[in-house]
Amino acid sequence: MRAMAKKKHSNTGNVIAQNKRASFDYQLLETFEAGIALSGWEVKSLRMGKADLADSYVLMKDGEAFLLGSHIIPLETASTHFVTDPTRTRKLLLHKKELAKIQAAVTQKGQTCVCTQLYWKGHLVKARIALAQGKRAHDKRDSQKEKDWNRQKQRIIRDNVKQ
């Protein structure tokens, strides 16, 4: 009898929603993994991939973290049986030390906290949140140039390998 190897699950296959705009608008300084307090219909909608993090951000209030602006689209069956609010404020579950670190960073000048990703970790929904500092216009141009150059390099390599 052979022993079966365990499969390692990468976060790329478990991603529910990403906030790609956050990495363009902000310089991400430090990331945290947070749990989210969700209701049943929200979990079912997330299983169907119906989430949007485009305008979401994290608000610190009374020593707790809340996710605002995230949009979870309710399923047809959920809206008939429950009172559904797609943009409701959701509580983030973090350790006290992480909350204190985020609170201290947010009170500093120019830093904020944004949600960059929602993903599955086992059967739980987790949020990747990041402390961020706003980019200036020239920083955005530099990151766009770098992204274009990397894409061009990949094309050159791909075309030369084929020949």
Long-range contacts of range 83-86, CB-CB < 8 Å, 24 or more positions apart?
A: 84/41
Please tell me the predicted confidence (pLDDT) of residue 162.
66
Tens-level pLDDT at each residue, the chain (163 residues): 455 454 444 545 689 989 888 888 888 888 999 999 988 888 888 888 888 888 888 999 998 999 998 888 888 776 566 667 788 889 999 999 999 998 888 887 778 899 999 999 988 999 999 998 887 776 678 778 888 889 988 888 888 876 6
* Tokens 């990949």 sit on residue: 154
Helix (H, G, I), strand (E, B) or coil at 75: coil
Task: Please say whether the dihedral angle defined by the alpha carbons of residues 53, 59, 64 and 66, taken in this order, is positive or negative.
Answer: negative
Cβ(111)–Cβ(132) below 8 Å: yes
Q: What is the CATH T-level fold of the domain 15-135, as seen in this structure?
A: Small Protein B; Chain: A; (2.40.280)
d(CA 139, CA 30): 18
Please tell me the predicted confidence (pLDDT) of residue 67.
92
Across 37-89, where does the E strand assignment appear? 51-52, 57-61, 64-68, 71-72
Please tell me the predicted confidence (pLDDT) of residue 11.
47
d(CA 44, CA 90): 16
Please tell me the predicted confidence (pLDDT) of residue 79.
59
In the chain, domain spans:
15-135
